[in-house]
Amino acid sequence: MVTGGGRGIGRSIAIALQEKGANTFIVDKTQEDLILMKEEFPEINTLCVDLTKWDEVTKAIKDLGHIDLLVNNAGIVIADRPLEYNEPDMDKLFAINVKALVNVTQVVGQGMIEQGKGGAIVNISSNGSKEFIPNVFVYSLTKAAVDNATEMFAVDLGKHHIRVNAVNPTIVKTTDISRPFFELDQTEVVKSKIPLDEFPEIQDVVDVVLYLLSDKAKFINGECILIDGGMHCS
């Protein structure tokens, strides 16, 4: 199951999983995106639900049955200015980026425990959780929370052979969540700090996610893997 699977990174992850033989579900609140996905990839299952609706999400995901692999991809970014943060934007960011992730993970995780076959969970975080990125203060706070949640879930679920990891990309080309960086002309500031001197493509993120979901990563648990071209070193 891939949350926020109607477009961007989530959509590409869902397609890649389906192509590798997984029975794939995508969860998204935008019905139009789900319809387009279904038209192009009719074998992919879709679920339209607003992830901020805690009880509705809990019931909807339980109704899907057992899930072996989960990608918590759904997330939003709202640009801000230093010392100009406001409560409504903070609530929106934490509702989607943190609370929804926790809710989905605990529901899916409990199902994995009951099934007794283990599983793998990957959270889409950001290098903003570890690096200073201008004008996304609150977004970066939420992603730091995602990293922390990843580590805590890895401990709680690891004893049930359920691995929980995260990937932390920098600005990824051609994604909606990267648009504010381009609109604020932040990209060159960020790019100047990347030794590889370029931004990752969506496929670069997809490849790491698929690896973490696979048995090839069977002893990787609680890690937050940077996909930033070495930015953290510079």
**Residues catalogued as catalytic:** 139, 143
**What are the C-alpha distances in Å from 37 to residues 31, 49, 116, 178?**
10, 15, 32, 21
**What are the C-alpha distances in Å from 109 to residues 27, 122, 145?**
16, 12, 18
CA distance linking residue 54 with residue 59, whole number of Å = 9
CA distance linking residue 16 with residue 21, whole number of Å = 9
* DSSP 3-state of 108: helix
62 phi, psi to nearest 5 deg: -60, -35
* DSSP 3-state of 4: coil
* DSSP 3-state of 143: helix
